[in-house]
Structure 1
Amino acid sequence: MQNPNCKVMVDNCYGEFVETSEPPMVGADLIAGSLIKNPGGTIAPCGGYVAGKKDLVAAAAARLSAPGLGVEFGSAPGHVMRAMFQ
Protein backbone atom coordinates (compact mmCIF):
# COMPACT_ATOMS: atom_id res chain seq x y z
CA MET A 1 0.00 0.00 0.00
CA GLN A 2 1.36 3.42 -0.96
CA ASN A 3 1.59 6.29 1.50
CA PRO A 4 -0.46 9.20 0.07
CA ASN A 5 1.70 11.68 2.02
CA CYS A 6 4.95 10.50 0.41
CA LYS A 7 6.34 12.86 -2.23
CA VAL A 8 8.69 11.53 -4.93
CA MET A 9 11.50 13.76 -6.21
CA VAL A 10 13.77 12.63 -9.07
CA ASP A 11 17.14 14.13 -9.97
CA ASN A 12 16.79 13.83 -13.73
CA CYS A 13 20.02 15.56 -14.76
CA TYR A 14 21.27 12.58 -16.78
CA GLY A 15 17.90 11.16 -17.75
CA GLU A 16 16.37 13.76 -20.04
CA PHE A 17 15.36 12.52 -23.45
CA VAL A 18 16.89 9.05 -23.07
CA GLU A 19 13.75 7.10 -22.19
CA THR A 20 10.30 6.89 -23.73
CA SER A 21 8.72 8.39 -20.60
CA GLU A 22 9.77 11.07 -18.14
CA PRO A 23 9.51 10.73 -14.32
CA PRO A 24 6.26 12.75 -13.96
CA MET A 25 4.60 10.35 -16.41
CA VAL A 26 5.19 7.49 -13.98
CA GLY A 27 4.32 9.25 -10.73
CA ALA A 28 7.16 11.59 -9.73
CA ASP A 29 5.88 14.71 -7.96
CA LEU A 30 8.95 16.86 -8.56
CA ILE A 31 11.96 16.64 -10.89
CA ALA A 32 15.20 18.58 -11.11
CA GLY A 33 17.83 18.66 -13.79
CA SER A 34 20.85 20.46 -15.15
CA LEU A 35 20.85 22.99 -17.97
CA ILE A 36 24.57 22.51 -18.59
CA LYS A 37 24.23 18.85 -19.55
CA ASN A 38 21.66 17.28 -21.90
CA PRO A 39 19.02 19.96 -22.68
CA GLY A 40 21.47 22.85 -22.56
CA GLY A 41 24.05 20.99 -24.58
CA THR A 42 26.76 22.96 -22.73
CA ILE A 43 25.37 26.18 -24.23
CA ALA A 44 24.16 27.38 -20.82
CA PRO A 45 27.10 28.41 -18.59
CA CYS A 46 25.19 27.48 -15.43
CA GLY A 47 21.76 26.66 -14.16
CA GLY A 48 19.20 24.01 -13.66
CA TYR A 49 15.48 23.51 -13.47
CA VAL A 50 12.83 22.25 -11.09
CA ALA A 51 9.47 21.12 -12.46
CA GLY A 52 6.42 19.35 -11.13
CA LYS A 53 3.41 20.04 -8.98
CA LYS A 54 2.92 23.76 -8.43
CA ASP A 55 3.02 23.67 -4.62
CA LEU A 56 6.19 21.57 -4.58
CA VAL A 57 7.95 23.79 -7.14
CA ALA A 58 7.08 26.82 -4.98
CA ALA A 59 8.39 25.04 -1.87
CA ALA A 60 11.64 24.14 -3.66
CA ALA A 61 12.06 27.72 -4.88
CA ALA A 62 11.57 29.07 -1.36
CA ARG A 63 14.10 26.59 -0.02
CA LEU A 64 16.69 27.48 -2.66
CA SER A 65 16.37 31.24 -2.22
CA ALA A 66 14.56 32.61 0.80
CA PRO A 67 10.99 32.40 2.09
CA GLY A 68 8.89 34.98 0.30
CA LEU A 69 11.28 35.39 -2.63
CA GLY A 70 10.47 32.13 -4.38
CA VAL A 71 11.22 32.23 -8.10
CA GLU A 72 11.42 36.03 -8.27
CA PHE A 73 15.22 35.86 -8.14
CA GLY A 74 17.71 33.48 -9.69
CA SER A 75 21.41 32.85 -9.55
CA ALA A 76 23.91 35.28 -10.99
CA PRO A 77 26.44 33.67 -13.33
CA GLY A 78 30.10 34.04 -12.39
CA HIS A 79 30.88 36.49 -15.18
CA VAL A 80 28.12 38.80 -13.92
CA MET A 81 29.42 38.70 -10.35
CA ARG A 82 32.99 39.34 -11.52
CA ALA A 83 31.82 42.43 -13.45
CA MET A 84 29.91 43.69 -10.42
CA PHE A 85 32.97 43.44 -8.20
CA GLN A 86 35.29 45.16 -10.69
Structure 2
Amino acid sequence: MGTHTGSLDPPGLAATGKDVEFDVREIIEFRDGLASHFRVVMDMTEFARQIGAFPARGSRGERAMARMPRFQMKVARRR
Protein backbone atom coordinates (compact mmCIF):
# COMPACT_ATOMS: atom_id res chain seq x y z
CA MET A 1 0.00 0.00 0.00
CA GLY A 2 1.19 3.49 -0.72
CA THR A 3 0.25 6.94 -1.97
CA HIS A 4 0.38 7.94 -5.62
CA THR A 5 2.76 10.88 -5.28
CA GLY A 6 4.74 10.80 -8.54
CA SER A 7 4.24 10.32 -12.24
CA LEU A 8 4.29 6.81 -13.71
CA ASP A 9 4.75 5.19 -17.08
CA PRO A 10 2.77 5.34 -19.25
CA PRO A 11 3.08 9.12 -19.32
CA GLY A 12 -0.01 11.07 -18.45
CA LEU A 13 -0.70 9.54 -15.05
CA ALA A 14 0.20 12.53 -12.92
CA ALA A 15 0.32 12.25 -9.13
CA THR A 16 -3.11 12.21 -7.48
CA GLY A 17 -2.23 11.85 -3.79
CA LYS A 18 -4.68 8.91 -3.56
CA ASP A 19 -3.92 5.77 -1.58
CA VAL A 20 -3.28 2.76 -3.82
CA GLU A 21 -2.73 -0.94 -3.24
CA PHE A 22 -1.85 -3.53 -5.88
CA ASP A 23 0.09 -6.74 -6.38
CA VAL A 24 3.48 -6.71 -8.08
CA ARG A 25 5.40 -9.63 -9.55
CA GLU A 26 9.15 -9.43 -9.96
CA ILE A 27 10.59 -11.78 -12.58
CA ILE A 28 14.35 -12.30 -12.58
CA GLU A 29 16.06 -14.33 -15.29
CA PHE A 30 19.45 -15.78 -14.50
CA ARG A 31 22.23 -16.77 -16.91
CA ASP A 32 25.49 -18.30 -15.76
CA GLY A 33 24.56 -17.59 -12.15
CA LEU A 34 24.00 -13.87 -12.73
CA ALA A 35 20.80 -11.89 -13.11
CA SER A 36 20.45 -11.09 -16.81
CA HIS A 37 16.89 -9.69 -16.99
CA PHE A 38 14.62 -8.11 -14.40
CA ARG A 39 10.93 -7.39 -15.02
CA VAL A 40 8.25 -5.92 -12.80
CA VAL A 41 4.66 -6.79 -13.69
CA MET A 42 1.62 -5.09 -12.19
CA ASP A 43 -2.06 -4.72 -13.00
CA MET A 44 -2.20 -1.19 -14.44
CA THR A 45 -5.98 -1.41 -14.87
CA GLU A 46 -6.49 -1.91 -11.13
CA PHE A 47 -4.04 0.90 -10.39
CA ALA A 48 -5.88 3.21 -12.83
CA ARG A 49 -9.21 2.36 -11.14
CA GLN A 50 -7.84 3.33 -7.75
CA ILE A 51 -6.63 6.75 -8.92
CA GLY A 52 -9.86 7.42 -10.85
CA ALA A 53 -8.37 7.13 -14.36
CA PHE A 54 -10.43 4.02 -15.26
CA PRO A 55 -14.08 3.19 -14.52
CA ALA A 56 -14.99 1.12 -11.46
CA ARG A 57 -15.41 -2.64 -11.90
CA GLY A 58 -18.93 -3.48 -13.09
CA SER A 59 -19.85 0.16 -13.71
CA ARG A 60 -21.68 1.50 -16.74
CA GLY A 61 -18.40 3.04 -17.94
CA GLU A 62 -16.58 -0.30 -17.78
CA ARG A 63 -19.37 -2.04 -19.70
CA ALA A 64 -19.23 0.67 -22.37
CA MET A 65 -15.46 0.24 -22.70
CA ALA A 66 -15.89 -3.54 -23.01
CA ARG A 67 -18.35 -3.06 -25.90
CA MET A 68 -16.15 -0.58 -27.75
CA PRO A 69 -13.91 -3.12 -29.57
CA ARG A 70 -17.00 -4.88 -30.99
CA PHE A 71 -18.37 -1.57 -32.19
CA GLN A 72 -15.02 -0.71 -33.79
CA MET A 73 -14.96 -4.05 -35.62
CA LYS A 74 -18.48 -3.49 -36.97
CA VAL A 75 -17.50 -0.05 -38.27
CA ALA A 76 -14.30 -1.44 -39.81
CA ARG A 77 -16.21 -4.23 -41.61
CA ARG A 78 -18.56 -1.69 -43.22
CA ARG A 79 -15.70 0.12 -44.94
TM over 0.5: no
Larger Rg, first or second structure (1 or 2)? 2
TM-score, length-scaled by structure 1? 0.29
When the two structures are superposed, what TM-score results if normalisation uses the length of structure 2?
Answer: 0.30
